[in-house]
Amino acid sequence: MTPARPPFWRNVKVLRAVIQIIALVGVGLVVYVLFFNVTNNLRARGIRTDFEFLDQPFGVRIAGSDLSPGAPVRAALINGVKNTLALTVVGLPLLTILGVLVGVGRLSANWLVSKVATVYVEILRNLPPLLLIVFAFQGVILRLPPARSPATPFGWFVISNLETHVPGFRAGAGYAAFISAVGLALAIGAFVWWWRTRVQQETGAPHHRWAWSLGLVAVVGVIAYLVIGRPVTITLPVLTGRVVDGGFRGLGAFFAVMGALVLYTSSHVAEIVRGSIQAVPKGQTEAASALALSGFQRLRFVVLPQALRVALPPMINQYLNYVKNTSLAIVVGFAEVTLIAFQAIGNGQPAPQVIITLMAAYLMFSLVISLIINVFNRRLRVVTR
């Protein structure tokens, strides 16, 4: 005999669904009330609630950009996003390398190395990043020669506290062809890499992946360069009066923000790396020693591959923190996206909408970084053979 069905108000499935619906309605109501209140109050104060401001002229020029004052707010914000991106693209690899070095250094058997790494971590991670940025700007960058009389070491650089120029290159005729040749070489190089890896796995012969792949790319690059005939020219920055011609340039404020945040974030990364290495079972190191691997080989082939797998998820947090901390650049006047957004607000664009746009920009950054790291993470997890 089947037991009698309980009444529906005691049916767990029904109850769960009902609770979910109530919660949904509750959340919806709160969101609606907040939204309604904001729009109503804004309208009552005669403040617009639409996003047309994106097409309004931004009105001012931006440091390090050719944007005219008549360019729309949209273009200015995109310029800000690019600057934030520049801070990120340069900063993340640097802080990762620095963080791993310091993290490994903390565990070094060398007393001096381990103490230096400890001091590095303990000082940098216990200072507010804002303080570091202001120090890097006022204490380091501003101490460089003033913009009216820059230093020109070796004739290769033009350095002032306003901006730094380094040698760069300029595209010449046949630049596109050269780039496609190098791109093709890179693709073939990747294939060679894969092939050498297989050779090693099947025969046990040393793979020499780096030598094979890079050698190929270098050979193709040199041949393409000679065949096409100077598709790129190296340019040195030349100072005439106040104008610097040629080379690449970076604003002083950029280096202040990037340097300070790389130092700050790398101290956190170092701790993650140290913890991850210590999380690798001691037996692994002992087994590696038993196989007569050298200290470097133990680290490179046994410990780090396992440790970095543990380190990856918490690293996402540090990367995201770095990106969000770039908003502190506003104090030293580097035109990243937050500065542009607040500039827009100060010049009469509606604050709520600008802030929402700004939040969307940071959300986009964070989601993209999470996505990339998660893809890595998944790949690393399935490599177990």
Partner 1 sequence: MKLRLIAALAAVFLLAACTQAADTTTTVGGTPTTADGGVTTTADTGGTTAPAGETTTTGATEPGDGLLAEVQARGSVRCGINEAVPGFGFLEADGTRSGFDIDFCRAVAAAIFGDPEAVEFVPLTAQQRFTALQAGEIDVLIRNTTYTASRDGGEGATFLSTTFYDGQGMMVRADSGFTVMEDLANTAICVLSGTTTELNLATRFVDIPYEPLTFDENDVLQEAFVAGQCDGWTSDKSQLAGVRSAFPEGPDALVIMEETFSKEPLGPAVRDGDSQWAQIIDWVVNVTIIAEELGLESGNVDTFADTENLEIRRLLGLEIVSDEGTTIFDAGLGLEPGWPADVITAVGNYGEIFNRNVGPDTPLALERELNALWTEGGLIYAPPFR
Strands annotated E in the chain: 158-159, 163-166, 168-171, 232-235, 238-240, 243-245, 248-251
Q: Exposed e or buried b for every residue in 224-244, given b needs 16+ CB within 10 A? A: bbeebeebbeeebbebeeeeb
Q: How many CA atoms lie within 13 A of 104 on its CB side?
A: 14
Residue number with CB closer to partner 1 (134 or 280) = 134
110 binds partner 1 per the rule CB under 8 A: no
The contact pattern for partner 1, residues 120-159, with x = CB under 8 A and - = no contact, is ----------x---x--xx---xx-xxxx-----------
Residue number with CB closer to partner 1 (89 or 243) = 243
Residue number with CB closer to partner 1 (160 or 267) = 160
Q: Which helix (H) or strand (E) holds 122?
A: helix 111-124
Residue number with CB closer to partner 1 (59 or 174) = 59
Least Å distance, CB 325 to partner 1, is: 8
Least Å distance, CB 330 to partner 1, is: 5
42 binds partner 1 per the rule CB under 8 A: yes
**CA 75/CA 52 separation, integer angstroms:** 13
Specify whether the CB–CB gap between 176 and 187 falls below 8 A.
no
User: Which amino acid, residue 203?
Assistant: T
Residue number with CB closer to partner 1 (61 or 74) = 61
Tokens coding 122? 């303990």
- State which of residues 234, 347, 364, 367 lies at the interface with partner 1 (CB under 8 A): 347
- State which of residues 257, 330, 337, 361 lies at the interface with partner 1 (CB under 8 A): 330
Tokens coding 9? 């108000």
- State which of residues 79, 164, 338, 357 lies at the interface with partner 1 (CB under 8 A): 338
Q: How many CA atoms lie within 13 A of 96 on its CB side?
A: 16
The contact pattern for partner 1, residues 183-222, with x = CB under 8 A and - = no contact, is ----------------------------------------
Least Å distance, CB 346 to partner 1, is: 2
**Count of beta carbons in the 10 Å neighbourhood of residue 174:** 17
- State which of residues 21, 22, 47, 279 lies at the interface with partner 1 (CB under 8 A): 47
Residue number with CB closer to partner 1 (92 or 339) = 339
312 binds partner 1 per the rule CB under 8 A: no
Q: Beta strand pairing status for 238-240 and 243-245?
A: antiparallel
Tokens coding 305? 């591959």
For 70, phi and psi rounded to 5 degrees? -80, -5
**Count of beta carbons in the 10 Å neighbourhood of residue 208:** 12
For partner 1 (CB under 8 A), the number of binding residues is 56
Residue with tokens 């994106």: 54
**CA 83/CA 327 separation, integer angstroms:** 11
The contact pattern for partner 1, residues 226-255, with x = CB under 8 A and - = no contact, is ---------------xxx--------xx--
Residue number with CB closer to partner 1 (63 or 166) = 63
Which stretch in 15-23, 91-99, 160-168, 298-306 sits in contact with partner 1 by CB under 8 A?
A: 160-168
Q: Which of 277, 365, 357, 361 is nearest to 321 (CA)?
A: 365
Least Å distance, CB 218 to partner 1, is: 39
Beta bridge partners of 244: 239
Which stretch in 31-39, 218-226, 274-282, 293-301 sits in contact with partner 1 by CB under 8 A?
A: 31-39
Tokens coding 384? 């177990």
- Which DSSP string do the residues of 3-51 spell out, in sequence order? PPPPPGGG-HHHHHHHHHHHHHHHHHHHHHHHHHHHHHHHHHTT---SS
379 binds partner 1 per the rule CB under 8 A: no
- Identify residues 62-81 at the interface with partner 1 (CB under 8 A): 62-64, 69
**Count of beta carbons in the 10 Å neighbourhood of residue 33:** 10
Residues that bind partner 1 (CB under 8 A): 34, 37-38, 40-42, 44-48, 59-64, 69, 130, 134, 137-138, 142-143, 145-148, 160-162, 241-243, 252-253, 327-328, 330-333, 335, 338-339, 342-343, 345-348, 350-352, 355, 358
